[in-house]
Amino acid sequence: MGVLIKHPLFSLRRYFGIFDSSCIITVILILFISIFLLYPVTKVFLYPSMAQYINAITRPLALRALYNSLFITLISTISSVFVGFLYAYTMNYTKIPGKIFFHTISILPLLSPPFVVALAWILLFGPRGLITYNLLRVRWNIFGWHGLWLVQTVAFFPYAYLVIDNVLSSIDPTLEYAAVNLGSTGKQTFLTITVPLALPGILNAALLNAIYILADFGNPIVIAGSWPVLPTTIYGLISGHYDVYSAAALSTMLLIPSIILYIISRSALGGKSYVTVTGRSSGLSRKLASPATTVMLFIFCSLVTFIIIAVYGVLLVGAFTETWGLKWGLTVRHWSALSGTALQSLINSLSCAIIAGFGAALLGLIGAQFIHKRLSHMMRFWDLTFVLPAAIPGVFLGIGYLLAFNGPPIVLSGTLFILILALLVWNIPIAYQACVAAIKQIGDEIPCAAVSLGASPVRAFLSTVAPLLRGPFAYGFVMGFLRAITNLSIVIFLIGPGRNVATVHIMNLIQYAEIPRAVVLTVALFGVAIIVAVLGQVVLGIPLFGRGKARRES
């Protein structure tokens, strides 16, 4: 980007003679991040006194929640990564029919609000569940860590699947041929070559999943019942006891492991990738798993896919069923619930998510242009602030905004504006990292080549860099939108009277045992999310969830 630094993109110097606009943009970005990220984060840190910290953390409930959180994070991470690995392995090392179908189904949990799997779980295994009540006539207590474990495994394995799929698909097949050529069997090759080569990717998937699961609020609030984890405990402290000091102290306890995991994933594993890009391909197609293994993997993936279909099928059927568990007649009467405050909350969700998604993509793009390139020590710090939100649990950010913008100097609480800003800041890293990767890929030479051929710096940027940033921008927008519209953990702290959003409304309905209406609103919200995702694919022409190109940018 040397050229573009020397010739600032929108050089106001030409018009005003003094100011360099890239400098102004950088200052604006830094101000924005300081006010809407660093300020709320520090606010949470500094809110409780030392005594209040000690008091909050040493409480038995807090200790149990911390222990439970770490415990469930550990086992759900292991199980979700295990399922994700097998799923990805099947996609890369077998020739089974219906791969596109398997892939598409596995994407669904990424598009839906966090508690969807939990809600379906209640419809299947709850006190009036299809399987427990109607088929088996047993009374299981699905509320607790067992249920949460299963639900989180289903909800989070797709993240691991996408990361590991990417890693496996880029392993050079010749390495496996080389091993076989030197005398190793299929099993030995798997253990000595494939797994070690994929290990950095698997660990990275595990760390990212651990961050998601640690911060997961939607599933535990619906399914964990009286089994406390940190995010639900923090919420309970605020909604039940108005104990903001303890909530802030515990939020910090939640943030610390999350940041540690994030730092490990970025630093320790960042450079340790065995994915080699060699220009010449050997012309050998990937060595496939043995037929017996293939059959087992096929059965396994079918089972996982069946569970996901069951989850969404149950919700869809539930939305049109008279009384779940008792009267199975079809009806559309629940859909009358989609009016008044419920409808308003859906509209609020949609508009907030569109603005937040677009804003996050825009800031990520501009940030990648103006913050990332400046490699001074100071700028490295600001570079970090653009990726930091990825490591912040939603609950922490929610409380941060609650504390920071509830009083002077900036009062935003109770408005939709505070929701939009929080969701926007939270989603900046997606577009930022995608754009940074794209800019690195473009390199210095291509825009320089355009300039050497006589293009002005602006023209060079618009004709070489900009087209290549369209993809990451669109990716940042759609992913940011989806994460914003399905978010519960941040918005639950920030909604004001008459300013509800769909996810919070659904959660309230579940808590009042208004399951049919909750299901209807969930199906509607999910429908909106799918429509936008499909539009993103069709209109922007980017295979956001296809196997291949787009995922590499993430």
Partner 1 sequence: MEYLELSRISKRFGKVIAVDELNLSIKRGALVTLLGPSGCGKTTTLHILAGFIQPDKGEIYLNGQLINHLPPHHRGMSLVFQSYALFPHMTVYNNIAYGLKIRRIPRNEIKARVTKIMEVVGLQGLEKRYPHQLSGGQQQRVALARALVVQPYVLLLDEPLSNLDAKLRVAVRTEIRKLQREMNITIVYVTHDQEEALSISDFIALMYQGRLVQFGTPQDLYYAPANQFVADFIGGSNFISGVITHCTKTECQFSVGNYNFWGRVVNANLHFKIGDMVLAAIRPDHISLNFAQPETKTNVLEGKIIDTAFLGGKTRIWVQIVDQEMLFIVDIPNISTTHLLQNQKCWLSVQPSDVMIIEKL
* Region binding partner 1 by CB under 8 A among candidate stretches 172-180, 248-256, 336-344, 466-474: 172-180
Assess 137 for contact with partner 1 (CB under 8 A): no
* Region binding partner 1 by CB under 8 A among candidate stretches 37-45, 195-203, 338-346, 483-491: 195-203
Of these, 34, 49, 188, 267, which contacts partner 1 (CB under 8 A)?
A: 188
Q: What's at 497, amino acid-wise? A: P
In this structure, are residues 504 and 496 in contact, taking their beta carbons and an 8 Å threshold? no
Residue with tokens 């050997």: 282
Of these, 183, 408, 454, 497, which contacts partner 1 (CB under 8 A)?
A: 183
Of these, 21, 52, 55, 174, which contacts partner 1 (CB under 8 A)?
A: 174
Q: Which is nearer to partner 1, 270 or 313 (CB)?
A: 270
Assess 164 for contact with partner 1 (CB under 8 A): no
Q: How far is the CB of 282 from partner 1 (least distance, A)?
A: 6
d(CA 458, CA 464): 10
Of these, 1, 61, 175, 310, which contacts partner 1 (CB under 8 A)?
A: 175
The CB density around residue 483, as the number of other CB atoms within 10 Å, is 20
**Touching partner 1, residues 274-313 (CB under 8 A):** 274, 276, 278, 280, 282-284
In this structure, are residues 47 and 402 in contact, taking their beta carbons and an 8 Å threshold? no
Of these, 34, 49, 192, 511, which contacts partner 1 (CB under 8 A)?
A: 192
Q: Which is nearer to partner 1, 6 or 280 (CB)?
A: 280
* CA 369 to each of CA 44, 441, 457: distance values in angstroms, whole numbers, following the listed order: 30, 13, 14
Q: How far is CA 367 from the centre of its chain?
A: 20
Of these, 75, 178, 316, 442, which contacts partner 1 (CB under 8 A)?
A: 178
In this structure, are residues 87 and 305 in contact, taking their beta carbons and an 8 Å threshold? no
d(CA 93, CA 288): 5
- Computed from CA positions of residues 182, 184, 190, 196, in that sequence, does the dihedral angle turn out positive or negative? negative
Of these, 111, 120, 151, 197, which contacts partner 1 (CB under 8 A)?
A: 197
Of these, 58, 181, 226, 376, which contacts partner 1 (CB under 8 A)?
A: 181
Q: How far is the CB of 95 from partner 1 (least distance, A)?
A: 16
Q: Can you read off the two tokens belonging to residue 178?
A: 């080389």
d(CA 253, CA 250): 5
Q: How far is the CB of 549 from partner 1 (least distance, A)?
A: 23
Cα dihedral 503/546/191/154 (nearest 10): 20
Q: Among 415, 403, 473, which Cα is nearest to 234's?
A: 403
Assess 269 for contact with partner 1 (CB under 8 A): no
d(CA 346, CA 349): 5
412: number of CA atoms within 13 Å, CB side? Answer: 20
Assess 51 for contact with partner 1 (CB under 8 A): no
Q: How far is the CB of 292 from partner 1 (least distance, A)?
A: 15
Assess 172 for contact with partner 1 (CB under 8 A): yes
* Region binding partner 1 by CB under 8 A among candidate stretches 77-85, 123-131, 169-177, 496-504: 169-177
Q: Among 301, 337, 388, 267, which Cα is nearest to 515's?
A: 337
Q: Which is nearer to partner 1, 14 or 280 (CB)?
A: 280
Q: Which is nearer to partner 1, 171 or 361 (CB)?
A: 171
Q: How far is the CB of 91 from partner 1 (least distance, A)?
A: 22
DSSP code string of 275-327: ----S---SPPPPPPPHHHHHHHHHHHHHHHHHHHHHHHHHHHHHTEEETTTE
Q: How far is the CB of 49 from partner 1 (least distance, A)?
A: 50
* Region binding partner 1 by CB under 8 A among candidate stretches 134-142, 273-281, 301-309, 322-330: 273-281
* Region binding partner 1 by CB under 8 A among candidate stretches 24-32, 111-119, 189-197, 498-506: 189-197
Instruction: Give the bridge partners for 327, in sequence order.
Output: 323
Q: Can you read off the two tokens belonging to residue 351?
A: 């508009």
Assess 179 for contact with partner 1 (CB under 8 A): yes
Of these, 10, 45, 82, 177, which contacts partner 1 (CB under 8 A)?
A: 177
In this structure, are residues 87 and 80 in contact, taking their beta carbons and an 8 Å threshold? no
H or E element: which one contains 329? strand 327-330
Q: How far is the CB of 181 from partner 1 (least distance, A)?
A: 5
In this structure, are residues 34 and 43 in contact, taking their beta carbons and an 8 Å threshold? no
Q: Which is nearer to partner 1, 275 or 446 (CB)?
A: 275
* Region binding partner 1 by CB under 8 A among candidate stretches 85-93, 143-151, 182-190, 368-376: 182-190
Q: How far is the CB of 494 from partner 1 (least distance, A)?
A: 46
Longest dimension (CA), the chain: 81
Q: Can you read off the two tokens belonging to residue 366?
A: 């501009």
Q: How far is the CB of 169 from partner 1 (least distance, A)?
A: 16
Residue with tokens 């984060």: 41
In this structure, are residues 201 and 167 in contact, taking their beta carbons and an 8 Å threshold? yes
Assess 167 for contact with partner 1 (CB under 8 A): no
Q: How far is the CB of 204 from partner 1 (least distance, A)?
A: 15
Number of amino acids touching partner 1 (CB under 8 A): 25
Q: Which is nearer to partner 1, 60 or 279 (CB)?
A: 279
d(CA 346, CA 503): 8
Q: Among 378, 325, 386, which Cα is nearest to 515's?
A: 325
Q: How far is the CB of 191 from partner 1 (least distance, A)?
A: 11
Assess 196 for contact with partner 1 (CB under 8 A): yes
Q: Which is nearer to partner 1, 180 or 310 (CB)?
A: 180
Q: How far is CA 280 from the centre of its chain?
A: 35
Residues at the site binding partner 1, with contacts judged by CB under 8 A: 172, 174-175, 177-185, 188, 192-193, 196-197, 199, 274, 276, 278, 280, 282-284
